[in-house]
Every structure is written in structure tokens, then in C-alpha cells.
Amino acid sequence: MTDRVAVITGGTKGIGLSFSRRMVHLGYRVIAVYRDDDASAEELATELRGDVVPIRADVSDPAQVSRLAESVLAGHGAPHVLVNNAGRNIDGPFLDMSHAAWRQVLDTNLSGPFYLAKEFAPEMLHLDQPSIVNIGSTTAIRPRLDGVNYCASKAGLLHLTKCLAMELAPTIRVNCLIPGMIDTVEMNTRFRTGEPAARAAMLAEIPQRRIGSPDEMADALEFLIGDGARYVTGQKLIVDGGQFMW
Ligand code: NDP
């Protein structure tokens, strides 16, 4: 599979880092897209020398996505797998939320996957069993406080997934992988899991009584992009320890 390419946005950190490692393990060359943390990108490139190509590009900017796609297609060819994982939270009460906070989150979490799919899907249509996986959130289905921008962006992403699954069928399968509480710096900071009371309250809502690991998300990704999921498209796969049973 060494000629296979996977583009993973936000592939240098958190859940995306596990995705990058797993895809390399599966024999893919990984293009790991990140926004501005060069140090994490260099660390990953050193760890997986030759198999990962980190590229700095802001997915919320269509011009940067276009340049990214040009360079990937010219240098590596069309990707068999596109994982739209880059995501952003700028939380706050609706009444205080600025237009900028609304736009930045929507542009990254919803428009970014649209731009990436627009650039790569026409080329992916010529490949054998290509697949797009969008990384969603349970808040796409059940909203939470102080996240009007994030919840709306992920709800849109879930529907974008279904529309793309219809329009790109039968060649490209498009699915939405939804993490529950997954152990990343971003999640631990935002939900204050270092504080015993906050952590206990969170775990009380999860039947598996633990926070999930990024590797468990990579297990689910491996299923969705693999032959075992060849009849699965337009679906959401929720990996959350049973927190929400929809
Ligand atoms: P992290 O914050 O740990 O990592 C985010 C990654 O995305 C980084 O590599 C970052 O690059 C990159 N990124 C952010 N914005 C952009 C952008 N505009 N353009 C390109 N790259 C960008 O996130 P997580 O691993 O926690 O989350 C990954 C995904 O999973 C997100 O979509 C998130 O919404 C979703 N999710 C996560 C949950 C969790 O519990 N962790 C729960 C539900 C959903 P850089 O570091 O350079 O800024």
C-alpha cells in the first residue's frame, strides 16, 4: 500500500496524531496538515521519518487549501483517504459571542472540510475505494451551553457528510466519526479533567467509566476506511464509551 496517500488535517496533535501514526502503520504516506505549531509538526516528521509530510496550511482559508491541494497532487498524487479532523473551539455565551468567534469556528470546522473535499474529491473519484472521514462531535446532535458556534459547525458537518455521501457515491464513501470525551490536551484543559470533582462528574456520565484514548479513535478510523466498511457510507460512528446512546 506504499503508493497510497492519506491527507489528515490537524494530523500533528491529539486525535489527529494517533490517526497519522495509524495510517503510517497501515502503509500510507501521510500528509499531516496543521495550522501553526511547527514544533509538533517537526517532532512528528522526525518520529515517522519519510512516511509523514507535515504541511502548514489553514483549512479555513480556501486559498491556502487550494495551494495545499496543488502541492499534494503534484508531489504525491490523489489521496485514497481524506480525514477532516482539524477543529477549533472558541466557547462563550451566545449573548457575548463575537462575529469573529462565530466565523473562525464555522470556517475551520465546517467550511474547511468543504474546501478540502472540493479540492480532492474530483481526483479521488478516479481511485479504487477512496474514502472521506469527517471528525464530528456529539454536540452536533445534543447541544451544550457556550458552544453555539461549535455545535452549529459540527451539526453542519454531519449533514455535509450525508450530502457528500450521496453526491460522491458510489465511488467515494463519506462517513462521520464522532468522538466522545477523548484524552487530548485540548479536551482536558477545556473540561478541567485535572480537577477531581469535574473529572468525577464527567466519568459518572460515561458507562465505560473512563475517558477514551486517541488510539481508540484510530481503531474506529481504521474500520471506516477499510474494506470491512465497504458498504458503509453517509453514517455516523459514535465512539464515546456509551455516553450517548443514539
Ligand atoms: P487538538 O486541539 O488537540 O488538535 C487540533 C489540530 O488541528 C492541531 O493539529 C491543529 O494545528 C489543527 N488545526 C486547528 N485549526 C486548524 C486550521 N484552521 N487549519 C489547519 N489545522 C488546524 O484537537 P483534538 O485532537 O482534541 O480534536 C480533534 C478533532 O476531534 C476536532 O475536530 C474536535 O472538534 C473533535 N473532537 C474532539 C473531542 C475530544 O474529546 N478530544 C471530542 C469531540 C470532538 P496547530 O496545533 O498547528 O494549531
* Domain-located, residue 171: yes
Question: Which helix (H) or strand (E) segment is 229 a member of?
Answer: none
Count of C-beta atoms within a 10 Å radius of residue 175: 26
Q: What is the pLDDT tens value at each position of the chain, 246 positions in all?
A: 458 999 999 999 999 999 999 999 999 999 999 999 999 999 999 999 999 999 999 999 999 999 999 999 999 999 999 999 999 999 999 999 999 999 999 999 999 999 999 999 999 999 999 999 999 999 999 999 999 999 999 999 999 999 999 999 999 999 999 999 999 999 999 999 999 999 999 999 999 999 999 999 999 999 999 999 999 999 999 999 999 999
Say if ligand 1 is within 6 A of residue 182 CB: yes
Residue 148 to residue 61: CA distance in whole angstroms: 21
- The residue to mutate among 7, 18, 31, 34, having the most atoms of ligand 1 within 8 angstroms of its beta carbon, is 34
Strand-pair category, 131-135 with 236-239: unpaired
Which pLDDT score, from 0 to 100, does residue 3 have? 83
- Tell me how many domains the chain contains: 1
- Provide the CB-side half-sphere exposure for 200 (13 A, CA): 3
Strand order of the β-sheet with 81-84 is: 52-56, 29-34, 5-9, 81-84, 131-135, 173-179, 236-239
The residue range of the domain holding 196 is 5-237
Concerning whether 150 is annotated as a catalytic residue, the answer is: yes
Tell me which residue has cell 455545535: 151
Specify which residues 53 forms β-bridges with: 31
Collapsing DSSP to helix, strand or coil, 97 comes out as: coil
* Domain-located, residue 40: yes
* Domain-located, residue 64: yes
* Domain-located, residue 88: yes
- Report how far ligand 1's centroid is from the alpha carbon of 135 (Å): 9
8 Å CB contact between 177 and 220: yes
Which pLDDT score, from 0 to 100, does residue 2 have? 57
| CATH number of 77's domain | 3.40.50.720
* Domain-located, residue 187: yes
